[in-house]
């Protein structure tokens, strides 16, 4: 614990009321005036109390900081204090190594600022004042954007208060979807900007410059036209890929809509316990390959209960076909199914499926791109949103968007350390 206090030597170690107190100072050496360079005269010491990395107990570092006075009586500088940047920042009260420790705790150990403040025996503000400039410096380093070829985008809600007070509730997040050598996506949050709009995404892309934009090969997104326009406008050479999970969800949603409509038409009320279609709603949402024999039997019985239920069954088959495109072992086979869906669903007599078909026809290229980009998807962005949500809860919410952005960049891998 006593090693690593760089630039000073230890004079004394004591235990005072259960706190480890370490007294340090620099070795004497001639000091030049920072203003004029004239050798300065020693003017005694000042006691600075610093918070340090806790071990079994809290640790206080007492730094006997030297004071100097310029020897030239005409110099404007007068008296000045020695500085040891490797020990602590000027006017800081948390040691350099405790700041590094705090950032690692936030990043790796799900720590909160309040928790770190408690461990150091200081206030939330003091901890954040030490940590914030470090995170801001790392966030400003544009080299963290280098080498991104698959890029994801998605939004999340970061607060629920009046937007006039705190700005837009949504934030748009950009995510590096680069895969490791085993082909596994190692998602990394690149940035968060206010709003959920094509403009938010486009402005961010434009600010990254040509080198970044030319490097992006695939751009994954959820079915939101604003983001698509931003990709088309600013990433001319990139292939836009519609997220597979969201496409499957559109299919499941269409089946749900058909079931509710048929139910309402035949019974005159919303589904309730005992109604045949109500009883199979979870079965209809599952993948066919996952159904047990018992579930299959229940599905058949519910459909057979009324000839008009056939519409629900057809819609379900359509959704299963959509799933099967993604489940196909070979991408060429999957692509063939997807092309067929994009060509035919729009003319389906079931209105909900026809609407799904029109959506997929409109997104045709991005929908089919999954099959030509080695299954690129936006799952990494979804995973990052999960990390963000966890940390928002740990901190019990945020009031300040600047702080929120820095903390999320840290925990979601966006900062180089
Ligand atoms: Zn001077």
- 30 Cα to the center of ligand 1, angstroms: 14
- What is the tens place of the pLDDT at every residue in 301-343? 999 999 999 999 999 999 999 999 999 999 999 999 999 999 9
164 contact partners, CB below 8 Å, separation of at least 6: none
- 87 Cα to the center of ligand 1, angstroms: 25
Q: What is the pLDDT of residue 276?
A: 84
113 contact partners, CB below 8 Å, separation of at least 6: 106, 124, 127, 128, 131, 395
- What is the tens place of the pLDDT at every residue in 37-86? 999 999 999 999 999 999 989 999 999 999 999 999 999 998 999 999 99
Q: What is the pLDDT of residue 2?
A: 52
- 34 Cα to the center of ligand 1, angstroms: 7
- 15 Cα to the center of ligand 1, angstroms: 40
Percent share of the chain, pLDDT over 70: 99
- What is the tens place of the pLDDT at every residue in 220-260? 999 999 999 999 999 989 999 999 999 999 999 999 999 99
Q: Is 140 exposed, middle or buried (0-12, 13-18, 19+ CB in 10 A)?
A: exposed
User: What band does 1 get if pLDDT is binned at 50, 70 and 90?
Assistant: very low
Question: Is residue 193 within a helix (H) or strand (E), and if so which, with residue range?
Answer: strand 188-194
Q: What are the tokens at 201?
A: 């995404």
pTM score of the predicted model: 0.89
- 206 Cα to the center of ligand 1, angstroms: 48
Q: What is the pLDDT of residue 3?
A: 56
- 31 Cα to the center of ligand 1, angstroms: 11
- 28 Cα to the center of ligand 1, angstroms: 19
**Contact in structure between 69 and 41 (CB atoms under 8 Å):** yes
> Is the pLDDT score of 204 beyond 80?
yes
Q: Report the Cα 256 to chain-centroid distance in Å.
A: 31
- Determine the Cα–Cα distance for residues 155 and 171; give it in Å rounded to an integer: 5
Nearest residue to 207 (alpha-carbon basis) of 223, 224, 190: 190
3-state secondary structure of 176: strand
Q: What is the pLDDT of residue 153?
A: 98
Span 347-370, average pLDDT: 98
Fold for 143-243+377-411, please state it. Nucleotidyltransferase; domain 5 (3.30.420)
- 36 Cα to the center of ligand 1, angstroms: 4
Q: Can you tell me which residue has the tokens 């206030």?
A: 123
- 38 Cα to the center of ligand 1, angstroms: 6
**Contact in structure between 153 and 201 (CB atoms under 8 Å):** yes
- 62 Cα to the center of ligand 1, angstroms: 28
- 96 Cα to the center of ligand 1, angstroms: 28
- 66 Cα to the center of ligand 1, angstroms: 16
- Determine the Cα–Cα distance for residues 397 and 225; give it in Å rounded to an integer: 30
**Mean pLDDT for the chain overall:** 94
Residues of the chain within CATH 3.30.420 domain(s) are 143-243+377-411
Q: What are the tokens at 359?
A: 């959506």
- What is the tens place of the pLDDT at every residue in 5-49? 888 999 999 999 999 999 999 998 899 999 999 999 999 999 999
Q: What is the pLDDT of residue 32?
A: 92
- What is the tens place of the pLDDT at every residue in 143-191? 999 999 999 999 999 999 999 999 999 999 999 999 999 989 999 999 9
Q: What is the pLDDT of residue 196?
A: 95
Q: What is the pLDDT of residue 7?
A: 87
């Amino acid at each position: 614990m006593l090693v690593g206090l760089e630039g000073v030597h230890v004079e004394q170690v004591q235990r005072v009321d259960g706190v480890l107190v370490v007294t340090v100072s620099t070795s004497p050496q001639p000091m030049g005036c920072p203003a004029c360079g004239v050798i300065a005269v020693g003017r005694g010491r000042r006691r600075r109390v610093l918070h340090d990395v806790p071990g079994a107990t809290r640790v206080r570092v007492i730094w006997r900081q030297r004071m100097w006075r310029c020897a030239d009586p005409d110099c404007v500088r007068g008296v000045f204090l020695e500085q040891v940047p490797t020990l602590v920042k000027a006017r800081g009260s948390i040691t350099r190594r405790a700041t590094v420790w705090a950032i690692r705790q936030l990043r790796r150990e799900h720590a909160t600022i309040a928790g770190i403040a408690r461990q150091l025996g200081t206030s939330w503000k003091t901890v954040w004042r030490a940590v914030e400039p470090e995170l801001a410096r790392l966030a400003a380093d544009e080299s963290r954007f280098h080498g991104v070829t698959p890029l994801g985008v998605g939004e999340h809600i970061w607060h629920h208060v009046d937007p006039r007070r705190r700005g837009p509730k949504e934030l748009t997040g950009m995510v590096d979807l680069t895969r490791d050598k085993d082909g596994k996506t190692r998602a990394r949050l690149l940035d968060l900007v206010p709003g959920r709009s094509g403009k938010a995404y486009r402005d961010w892309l434009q600010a990254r410059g040509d080198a970044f934009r030319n490097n992006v090969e695939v751009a994954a997104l959820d079915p939101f036209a604003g983001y698509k326009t931003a990709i088309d406008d600013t990433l001319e050479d990139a292939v836009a890929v519609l997220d597979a999970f969201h496409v499957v969800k559109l299919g499941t949603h269409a089946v749900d809509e058909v079931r509710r409509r048929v139910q309402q038409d035949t019974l005159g009320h919303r589904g309730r316990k005992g109604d045949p279609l109500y009883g199979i709603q979870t079965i209809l949402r599952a993948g066919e390959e996952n159904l047990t024999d018992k579930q299959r039997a229940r599905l058949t019985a519910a459909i057979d209960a009324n000839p008009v239920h056939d519409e629900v069954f057809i819609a379900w088959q359509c959704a299963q076909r959509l799933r099967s495109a993604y489940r196909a072992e070979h991408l060429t086979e999957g692509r063939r199914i997807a092309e067929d869906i994009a060509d035919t669903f729009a003319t389906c007599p079931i209105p909900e499926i026809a609407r799904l078909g029109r959506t997929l026809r409109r997104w045709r290229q991005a929908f089919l791109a999954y099959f030509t980009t080695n299954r690129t998807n936006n799952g990494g962005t979804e995973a990052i949103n999960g990390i963000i949500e966890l940390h928002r809860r740990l901190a019990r919410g945020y009031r300040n968007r600047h702080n929120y952005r820095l903390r999320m960049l840290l925990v979601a891998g966006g900062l180089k350390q």
